[in-house]
Amino acid sequence: MTTMTTTKPNRSNPDQLLIGLVSISDRAAGGVYQDQGIPALQEWLAAAVSSPFLIETRLIPDDRAQIEQTLIDLVDELQCDLILTTGGTGPARRDVTPEATLAVATKEMPGFGEQMRQISLKFVPTAILSRQVTVIRETPGHAALIMNLPGQPKSIKETLEGLKDADGKTLVSGIFAAVPYCIDLIGGPYIETNDAVCAAFRPKSAIRNKA
């Protein structure tokens, strides 16, 4: 279940996930072209996440101060559990998403960025130019996972979902497989996924009894 909100969302139950989607692009924010990042993320989440969730979206320019404030608002005010950003992670001068993300962080989670680049390197050698980071922001009584993703819809899907062969066997694990357990560990809602798209991995001791 996906709901767009403009005010502070009300969770229907404690396990309802609140996701912030932030597309960062001077041209898309300025109306030069239509944003593709948020629609791509919404489509993928609708297919991959089987537990109930709400979505809050933001489309902003490549401005570090505005990115930082947006992330702070989504975590501290709206209490999002997971924030996915898209865009602004390359080497260009206006690409400042990683710097803004690190500035609001409590902890860094470097394994996510390492895996993103490993996935992208299966397709293009320029994947080493990407600077995506993942962090946790903690406030009293709440914490959120903030992840930088690529800007292209195809790359977003590959990064989240991983790579499979023609028979559907996983060749390279996508990063989202580790997200539900990470959210567990920081005190967030219990996330279940559609295994055909992205099977969440948890230790056996952390799996809830569905009976």
Say which residues have a Cβ less than 8 Å from residue 107's Cβ, sequence separation at least 6. 135, 136, 138
User: What CA–CA distance (Å, rounded) separates 74 from 82?
Assistant: 9
Is residue 54 situated within a structural domain? yes
Is residue 125 situated within a structural domain? yes
Is residue 6 situated within a structural domain? no
Is residue 4 situated within a structural domain? no
Give the pLDDT confidence score for residue 12 in this predicted structure. Answer: 75
Is residue 130 situated within a structural domain? yes
Give the pLDDT confidence score for residue 175 in this predicted structure. Answer: 96
Give the pLDDT confidence score for residue 5 in this predicted structure. Answer: 45
Q: How is residue 37 written in tokens? A: 């990042």
**17 touches 53 (CB < 8 A):** yes
Give the pLDDT confidence score for residue 100 in this predicted structure. Answer: 98
Is residue 98 situated within a structural domain? yes
Please name every residue paired with 17 in a beta bridge, in sequence order, or none if there are none.
Answer: 53
**CATH assignment of the domain containing 152:** 3.40.980.10
Give the pLDDT confidence score for residue 169 in this predicted structure. Answer: 79
- Number of separate domains in the chain: 1
Is residue 106 situated within a structural domain? yes
Give the pLDDT confidence score for residue 1 in this predicted structure. Answer: 35
Is residue 8 situated within a structural domain? no
Strand order in the sheet with 17-24: 53-60, 17-24, 82-86, 142-149, 134-139, 107-108
* Domain interval for residue 150: 17-206
**78 touches 8 (CB < 8 A):** yes
Give the pLDDT confidence score for residue 123 in this predicted structure. Answer: 87
Binned average pLDDT, 10 residues per bin, the chain of 211 residues: 51 87 96 95 97 97 98 98 97 97 98 94 92 97 97 93 82 92 97 94 89 49
Give the pLDDT confidence score for residue 2 in this predicted structure. Answer: 39
Model confidence, pTM: 0.93
